[in-house]
Structure 1
Amino acid sequence: MTATADLIIHNACILTMDDESPRAEAIAIAGNRILAVGSDAGILPLAKAGARIVDAGGATVLPGFNEAHMHIFGGSVGLGELSLFKVQGFEALKNAIQTYAAANPDLPLLVAQYADYTVISEEERVTRHHLDRIVPDRPFLMFSPDHHTAWANTIALEKAGILHGRDVGVGNEIVMGEDGLATGELRETNAIRPVSSMSATGGREGLGVGTGGDPEHVTPEERAGDIAVIKRGLAYCASLGITSFQNMDGSLYQLEMLQEIEDTEGLPVRVRMPFHMKNFMPLSHLEEKAAVWRERFDTDKLRCNFVKMFMDGVTEGETAVFVDDYSHKPGWKGEPLFSAGHFNSIAVEADRLGLPVAVHAIGDGAVRMVLDGYEAAIEANGKRDSRNRIEHIEVVHPDDIPRFARLGTVASMQPTHPPGSAGLPLEPYLTYIGRERWPYAFAWKALVDAGAKIVFATDWPVSPLAPLSCIGDAMTRKPWAEDMPDHRLSLMETLAAYTRTSAWVEFMEDRKGKLKEGFLADIVVLSGDIEACPATEIAALKPVATICDGRITYEAP
């Protein structure tokens, strides 16, 4: 008996991302799998009685977007916080914060997101004194877009017990003023956490990335609230055409909440979580925790099968690690979070256990250290299909570009992050890295041309999550000077970095990332033809429908 379809999409410009059959007009779904892909004439007769028939109206249909680097808990919490995206100048900042404060009189800590490093001006760095002039009587904290720097007002610093400073560990800093008091600028997680833990969520959304651990005590009411927050974030992902995401902070607390959602109503998005390895953790955690979590969470909907680490911070906070000095600060290269020997031992052990590794590395010095560690793993254990990654790679030394392909290291990068893109200012970034490093900054095309595999994502909540906006940013990026290389990829290369290659890096290329018979039914229907759309208008396209595991998880009103 011939199988029949529960759902058919036809009259579409289908980009299957399958090189063997790259284009089609219609697709049929039975259960949670793709039944067939082909012409309207061949697919429409497969509909069973009562099947849902969707006319795409000539619009593009793609494999569901796979966001390869994001933070679901923090992003979900941020949906209810103040956004300072594109807010510039003191008066605009004051108006936004005071309006939010008035609308939220009971919050124990007012929290804002996306505050640019130059939110006051390009010449004046924000301090607690600026924030005191805006909101003097309630604790306030605002995060930079990259989440590696935050600024707090005086009352927040006092309540957190850090107005007079505190040792916060290597790579972290409570910036101190000439008066012996904190300026309000907090660099990296250990410095930020004393303030962020005063929030309505107790800062639980940051524990996965900050400590790699779990909250010490959570009441049933708090846990239920956290699950509700994450559900809102998952629905938001689905509304943007995302059918899979790879989280970049991991904790058992998050995994168990996601498992509960899957068990009770079904996750609307597939989730890949890491074990987060911090520099204070014993090497034995890889076998005792990471490998155990991998066995416990191992389905097509929720998996925990890789290790995440940080090698450095961010350039604007002067915590990124470079091969040579910061251009504006002679004698300072940054301080890595792991010594070379320590990192190498982790890379070797993770590789021995068959655990892929993903490492945040912003500066070219950090990137080199990670590549060295991956090379040490190959030397110790032999070459295998590890699919290790480096996250961000904002600057890469030219000598290291060919090493990506040679070592089989994936370049995981964010089209929303280059200064001058997605509303980001050029300074202080360009000055900090110096012009000689400009050609090797966000060097997508140089890496791809050298044979590296690349995946794209937004690092939400560091940047807005919408994949179509991110793809538009990738296609419209402008070089910083006339003699700079153009690092844009083609549209199909960019789409592959959001679909097919992102499935491959997860070791799931045999069942998702393409629209192909027998593959999981993860699909997004767009509002128009992305190939006919000018690059400047891609961001205006919207998902009309999102299907994950054969289930419609989002339909546009």
Structure 2
Amino acid sequence: MRYLFLYTLVFFLLTGLAGAQPAADLIFHKGYIYTADSAGSVHSAVAVKDGKILITGSDEVVLQYKGESTQIISLEGKLLLPGFIDSHAHSISAFKHFFELNLYGLKSVKEIQDALKEYYYRHPGAAYIKGRGWSNTMFPKTGPAHTYLDEIISHIPVVLASEDGHSRWVNKKALELAGITNLTPAPAGGIIELDPESGEPTGTLRESAAGLVSGIIPPPSFELMYDGLIKFQKMAAEFGITGVHEASIDAGSIEPEVYRKLEADGKLNMRVTAALYIEPDSGRQWIEHLTAERSRDRGELFSARYAKIFADGVVEGSTAFLHEAYNHLPANRGELLCNLDSLKNLCAGLEEAGFGIHVHAIGDAAITAALDAFAYARKISGNTDTRNLITHLQLVRASDIPRFKELNVTAAVQPFWFIKDEYYHDIQVPYLGKERADREYPLKSFFDNGVNVASSSDYPVTIPPNPLVAIQTGITRKEPGSDASMTPLWPEESATIEQMIRSYTINAAYASGWEKIAGSIEPGKSADLIILDKNLFTIPADEITYAKMVMTMFRGKIIYSNQ
């Protein structure tokens, strides 16, 4: 009788506790739920309450949290993941994608001229034309000529950014208004391309030289940026993106103001942390300017806690900083865009002020310099919990890869580019030589060395910024849709499906300082969830991009559904 009494007491206590469980607002069950927690746990059900994860587990366990008003959704075996986070995107520039002349994907001068003609036909009263998206692979090293643009538009300035954003192609009217001639000195870190025969400017301006034409065209308006971000968020939700590390905005400008207004209006449907641009030679006094901006940007969804530094340029402009000379320019290694001592002191000052540092570095020498600067900053500040990132990482010395882990530096990669495309054949092999070109974009080595790897798009360099394309390419190292004859780029550096998913979820959350609130499906974290119609863990890698986004949820609210 005594044991029967004890069993009865335990039964009533347990059922009483179960009855006291908080009722979930929503339960997903009968699914394959990859949580991206530290153990890589997989469950079949998850409950959501008040915009946060209540519990994960088996259907039997989670359904105990069903209440009278709980919505129950059967996943029918579909894959549920944490929302994707893009760790390097210029979402503030979405207006360029949606509202300016779009040249992405055009393959010839004639196609570009036709697009320019059509744009002017639709904007007959335009005082200028801006656009973006032409490819360096279509033109010689000196870039496209202004004469191609002059044939279509010669009475107003035309300024077209390359798809990587590091060069400008302008017509003769723009050169005249900016006062650019063959006698104009190029600014530090910039190149005014000259015709090798006439010695006159070709119409291509690279890196900082692009700023020479910035004053002839009005800056984008607040309303244009605002509307661009509205469109970007709609597109991002369709791809399952619920967070963005904004790669570069200007402190004291309207750019952070636009984000603040979006959040105040209740129209910011993603989590955003921004990197504030700072000139690497600007000195520590400029840090106060960034600190003032950071104090204004402390919203629940938008913050600015990072500083952005450009260490070098790009391979296609021969401006990436390399340890060994370019193959086509034996006297040129590119250059570091600042003095190394200045970079070290700036990084130390930024860390002391509590900023994470986000560095653009493409060449292997630039990456070494950035790591040297971080090592110096750690020595000065003593801070071992920094959230610094180096992005792009096209060429990396093998000896530098372990240093990322030692210095707690995130490798912010763009797997979209890990392929043998026109850039590989027309620029990378001729400019770098085949041996270096075949060892571009390491990935597996970072994972193997315990480095935090966070994937990203560099939008609008990559359009569209679909994470599924990056995930597939990170595994196959081939362009999605390519046939079996296409050889992969450095296949030994292929990652696994789990590594790629973590690079877009928990690793990306860590890189942005969100790992305690987002990036994985764990009790208490934000219910940022996505559902796909195919299980990425079980389908062939070359079919990942065929998967469709079924639903995107941010903080418990559905922001996209195809049902």
After TM superposition, the score normalised by the length of structure 2 is 0.88
Unaligned runs of 5+ in 1: 205-221
Say if 2:266 is the partner of 1:260.
no
Q: Secondary structure of 2:205's match?
A: strand
Counterpart residue number, 1:525: 531
Determine the C-alpha separation between the residues in 2 that align with 1:437 and 1:45. 58
> Where has structure 1 moved over 6 Å in runs of 4 or more?
479-483
Q: Is the Cα contact below 8 Å between 2:359 and 2:390 reproduced in 1?
A: yes
Say if 2:441 is the partner of 1:459.
no
AA matched with 1:99: E
Say if 2:174 is the partner of 1:174.
no
Select between 29-38 and 273-282 the one with higher mean Cα deviation: 273-282
CA gap 1:123/1:179 in 2 versus in 1, 3 angstroms: closer
Say if 2:405 is the partner of 1:442.
no
Q: Is the Cα contact below 8 Å between 1:109 and 1:198 reproduced in 2?
A: no
CA gap 1:241/1:273 in 2 versus in 1, 3 angstroms: same
Select between 475-484 and 389-398 the one with higher mean Cα deviation: 475-484
Q: Is the Cα contact below 8 Å between 1:348 and 1:381 reproduced in 2?
A: yes
CA gap 1:518/1:119 in 2 versus in 1, 3 angstroms: same
Determine the C-alpha separation between the residues in 2 that align with 1:540 and 1:135. 41
Counterpart residue number, 2:237: 238
Q: Is the Cα contact below 8 Å between 1:33 and 1:550 reproduced in 2?
A: yes
Q: How does 1:78-93 map to 2 (within 5 A)?
A: 78-93=97-112
Say if 2:556 is the partner of 1:550.
yes
CA gap 1:38/1:104 in 2 versus in 1, 3 angstroms: farther
Q: Is the Cα contact below 8 Å between 1:321 and 1:363 reproduced in 2?
A: yes
Q: Render the CA deviation track for 1:376-410: whole Å, top value 9, x for unaligned.
A: 11222335111321111110123322222222222
Q: Secondary structure of 2:469's match?
A: helix
AA matched with 1:140: V
Determine the C-alpha separation between the residues in 2 that align with 1:447 and 1:362. 16
CA gap 1:119/1:112 in 2 versus in 1, 3 angstroms: farther
CA gap 1:167/1:53 in 2 versus in 1, 3 angstroms: farther
Determine the C-alpha separation between the residues in 2 that align with 1:162 and 1:270. 42
Counterpart residue number, 1:281: 282
AA matched with 1:119: M
Q: Is the Cα contact below 8 Å between 1:470 and 1:539 reproduced in 2?
A: no
CA gap 1:105/1:42 in 2 versus in 1, 3 angstroms: farther
Counterpart residue number, 2:270: 269
Say if 2:264 is the partner of 1:248.
no
Determine the C-alpha separation between the residues in 1 that align with 2:450 and 2:355. 23
Q: Is the Cα contact below 8 Å between 1:274 and 1:304 reproduced in 2?
A: yes
Select between 238-247 and 224-233 the one with higher mean Cα deviation: 224-233
Q: Is the Cα contact below 8 Å between 1:419 and 1:426 reproduced in 2?
A: no
**Residue 4 of structure 1: which of 23, 27, 46 is its match?**
23
Counterpart residue number, 1:392: 392
Q: Render the CA deviation track for 1:20-58: whole Å, top value 9, x for unaligned.
A: 461122222111211121233333453444444433332
Select between 526-535 and 145-154 the one with higher mean Cα deviation: 526-535
Say if 2:347 is the partner of 1:347.
yes
CA gap 1:482/1:384 in 2 versus in 1, 3 angstroms: closer
Q: Secondary structure of 1:249's match?
A: strand
AA matched with 1:153: N
Determine the C-alpha separation between the residues in 2 that align with 1:279 and 1:482. 36
Say if 2:392 is the partner of 1:373.
no
Q: Render the CA deviation track for 1:139-162: whole Å, top value 9, x for unaligned.
A: 333322211112122223333433
Say if 2:146 is the partner of 1:146.
no
Determine the C-alpha separation between the residues in 2 that align with 1:358 and 1:56. 38
Determine the C-alpha separation between the residues in 1 that align with 2:418 and 2:305. 30
Say if 2:169 is the partner of 1:130.
no
AA matched with 1:345: N
Would you say how many aligned residue pairs link Structure 1 and Structure 2?
534
Q: What is the alpha-carbon root mean square deviation over aligned residues?
A: 2.5
Counterpart residue number, 1:512: 518
Determine the C-alpha separation between the residues in 2 that align with 1:449 and 1:501. 15
Q: Is the Cα contact below 8 Å between 1:141 and 1:196 reproduced in 2?
A: no
AA matched with 1:265: G
Counterpart residue number, 1:326: 326
Largest Rg, 1 or 2: 2
Q: Secondary structure of 1:427's match?
A: helix
**Residue 46 of structure 2: which of 6, 24, 27 is its match?**
27
Determine the C-alpha separation between the residues in 2 that align with 1:245 and 1:457. 9
Counterpart residue number, 2:497: 491
Determine the C-alpha separation between the residues in 1 that align with 2:348 and 2:301. 29
CA positional deviation for 1:293: 3.4
AA matched with 1:144: S
After TM superposition, the score normalised by the length of structure 1 is 0.89
Q: Is the Cα contact below 8 Å between 1:87 and 1:119 reproduced in 2?
A: no
AA matched with 2:428: Y
CA positional deviation for 1:294: 3.4
AA matched with 1:86: G
Q: Is the Cα contact below 8 Å between 2:169 and 2:203 reproduced in 1?
A: yes
Aligned-pair identity in percent equals 28
Select between 352-361 and 250-259 the one with higher mean Cα deviation: 250-259
CA gap 1:549/1:182 in 2 versus in 1, 3 angstroms: same
CA positional deviation for 1:359: 0.7
Q: Secondary structure of 1:118's match?
A: helix
Counterpart residue number, 2:429: 430
Q: Is the Cα contact below 8 Å between 1:418 and 1:424 reproduced in 2?
A: no
Q: Is the Cα contact below 8 Å between 1:415 and 1:470 reproduced in 2?
A: yes
Q: Secondary structure of 1:114's match?
A: strand
Q: Render the CA deviation track for 1:325-363: whole Å, top value 9, x for unaligned.
A: 111111101121111110010111122223221110110
Q: Is the Cα contact below 8 Å between 1:312 and 1:319 reproduced in 2?
A: yes
AA matched with 1:75: A
Select between 520-529 and 74-83 the one with higher mean Cα deviation: 74-83
Q: Is the Cα contact below 8 Å between 1:165 and 1:176 reproduced in 2?
A: no
Determine the C-alpha separation between the residues in 1 that align with 2:275 and 2:43. 36
Determine the C-alpha separation between the residues in 1 that align with 2:398 and 2:446. 10
CA gap 1:24/1:325 in 2 versus in 1, 3 angstroms: same
Q: Secondary structure of 1:260's match?
A: helix
Determine the C-alpha separation between the residues in 2 that align with 1:175 and 1:494. 39
**Residue 60 of structure 1: which of 79, 82, 91 is its match?**
79
Q: Is the Cα contact below 8 Å between 2:34 and 2:40 reproduced in 1?
A: no
